[in-house]
Amino acid sequence: MEQQKKYWNKIENACCQLITCITALIRLVSKYVIGTYMHHIEYRPDAQPKTCKTLADIPGPRSLPIFGTRWIYWKFCLYKLNAVHLAYKDMFIRYGNIIREEALWNIPIISVKDRDFIERVLRHSGKYPIRPPNEVTANYRKSRPDRYTNTGLVNEQGEVWAKLRNKLTPELTSPRTIRRFLPEVNQLADDFNTLIGLARDGNNVVKGFESYCNRMGLESTCTLILGKRFGFLDGEVSDTATRLADSVTSQFRASQEAFYGLPLWKLFPTRAYKDFVASEDALYDIVSEIVDSALIDEQLSCTDVRSVFVSILQAPGLDNRDKKAAIIDYIAAGIKTLGNTLVFLLYLVAKHPDVQEKIYNEVLRLAPAGTAITAEHLHNATYLHACITEAHRLLPTAPCIARVLESDFEYENYQLPTGSVVLLHTWLACLDDNNFVDASSYKPERWLDELTRKSPFLVVPFGCGKRMCPGKRFVELELQIVLAKMVKQFHIDFDGQLNTEFEFLLTPSNADLILRDRNC
């Protein structure tokens, strides 16, 4: 162990020296060629007089001028960009309960996984909670005033965000809307079961099960937001489906590279940036076609499945550009998150046959074979709910919540000033035995046990407070119905362990699920 640590430190030192040389060279060049860098890098919190521990004292990877600590994800360095979630696990072991990373221009980013600190930050959010924007999207949208009047619901802040939120989300988040979608979600789940049933090979294995879940995410999000079925669950995938799915994947990759990688896209259009622009344009074109045809449709009537779409198109006081942007944001925010969450849930249930049998018995008791699932069935399906909550705890798609502090905070004697960017690692907190007994085990029963300390700020797969995900209610409904119907139809199994990657979201890979018919 000691040997390993020495070896590790040597590699870290060697990398740092190499990168310091490169940055010294860049500094020289920028000093004489650009002559402006000094102005930017002078933002260093440790320049303040030290009366108590400041951001600069927080431990973390070594920081380089200009590049900060992002070098740790560079090729041949400490961590892999597609395994950022594992990097944080390791950094919390190496540096302790609070970590400082630095983004470009040495802007500090603080990571914490302490339950009380997470609760304090989330409780103290004000009128307009600030989530750091996705820089690539914000940058691109600002460069296209012909298409966007602002950076959109996901990336805006302050009063502009509040206006978008007030005008665009009430229909989507209302329980009445969700009840209206119940028959459609039953149908979506039936179609999904047919699709995956047919996708099995001779050994009942559905190879690349995640791609089917992404199609389900795509079809259900589009049905919810655009008010019609698109056929993404049909046998043949249409060209539009492929374009939509590829666009969303590129968007997440580009976001990841922009946040954790070297943001060269700020200097010139890198390949990742070009991919991002192509994906944003493709999404825009597809959504435009649909919205434009709906806008000239004189019969814009509000049927059950069109209620969200109609509410967006008829939102008062919003420019048409804002409405299109909202639809793009909803679709992009919904597809992969839903797909990944479905894989994680089904994987955990597959690995726990005892849990699966309990779900089966509960579902069969509440909704006998041949009956559709109703709101009442779901209300009484307490074990089913517990299984989903426990899956969110153990394998959440969004492993942390990002916030910009709205007031000064203190943690472990460190002063964190207003404006600091913090990553609240709710997933790692959920895996801590101090917060949950036998935290790494999948035990839905814990949610039925009165003694489990149920914090509203730890298992927060949809975030928290005023910026919470507006798709939450719909997703919860869908997960319940899909799980209930799948367990009713199949014995679900999985060989080995599921691989996960980080693509700005926790993402499964090579999820080959085994589905055996129950009635065989």
Contact call for residue 462 and ligand HEM (CB under 6 A): yes
Instruction: Using alpha carbons, list the distances in angstroms from residue 322 to 168, 174, 224, 316, 494.
Output: 10, 21, 18, 11, 43
CA distance 142 to 292: 23
Stretch that binds ligand HEM, among 66-74, 237-245, 293-301, 469-477 (CB under 6 A): 469-477
Contact call for residue 393 and ligand HEM (CB under 6 A): no
The least distance separating ligand HEM from the CB of residue 134, rounded to whole angstroms, comes to 11
Nearer to ligand HEM by Cβ, of 414 and 462: the residue is 462
Which residues are within 8 A (CB) of 306 and not within 5 positions of it... i.e. 6 or more apart? 227, 228
The least distance separating ligand HEM from the CB of residue 317, rounded to whole angstroms, comes to 18
Contact call for residue 362 and ligand HEM (CB under 6 A): no
- 3-state DSSP assignment of residue 367: coil
Instruction: Please name the residue ranges forming H helices in 169-270.
Output: 170-173, 175-180, 182-198, 209-226, 239-260
CB atoms within 10 A of CB 140: 20
The least distance separating ligand HEM from the CB of residue 216, rounded to whole angstroms, comes to 11
520 has binding-site annotation: no
Of the candidate residues 58, 277, 373, 475, the single one contacting ligand HEM (CB under 6 A): 475
Contact call for residue 348 and ligand HEM (CB under 6 A): no
Instruction: Using alpha carbons, list the distances in angstroms from residue 213 to 184, 340, 487, 509.
Output: 17, 7, 16, 12
Which contiguous run of DSSP H or E holds residue 488?
Answer: helix 472-489
Site string for ligand HEM, 137-156 (x = CB under 6 A): ----------------xx--
Site string for ligand HEM, 190-229 (x = CB under 6 A): -------------------------------x--xx----
User: φ and ψ at 513, to 5 degrees?
Assistant: -85, 145
The least distance separating ligand HEM from the CB of residue 12, rounded to whole angstroms, comes to 32
Site string for ligand HEM, 78-117 (x = CB under 6 A): ----------------------------------------
Stretch that binds ligand HEM, among 78-86, 325-333, 360-368, 372-380 (CB under 6 A): 325-333
Nearer to ligand HEM by Cβ, of 241 and 401: the residue is 401
The least distance separating ligand HEM from the CB of residue 354, rounded to whole angstroms, comes to 25
> Are the C-beta atoms of 331 and 244 separated by less than 8 Å?
yes
Angle at 493 between CA 490 and CA 496, to 5 degrees: 165
| Token pair recorded at residue 189 | 């789940």
Site residues for ligand HEM, 165-184, by CB under 6 A, read 165
> Are the C-beta atoms of 110 and 416 separated by less than 8 Å?
yes
Site residues for ligand HEM, 436-455, by CB under 6 A, read none
Nearer to ligand HEM by Cβ, of 205 and 431: the residue is 431
User: φ and ψ at 507, to 5 degrees?
Assistant: -130, 135
Nearer to ligand HEM by Cβ, of 212 and 462: the residue is 462
Which residues are within 8 A (CB) of 21 and not within 5 positions of it... i.e. 6 or more apart? none
| Token pair recorded at residue 459 | 């298992």
Residues near ligand HEM (CB under 6 A): 131, 153-154, 165, 221, 224-225, 329-330, 333-334, 337-338, 341, 397-398, 401, 461-464, 467-471, 474-475
Q: Please state the residue numbers annotated as binding site for heme.
A: 469
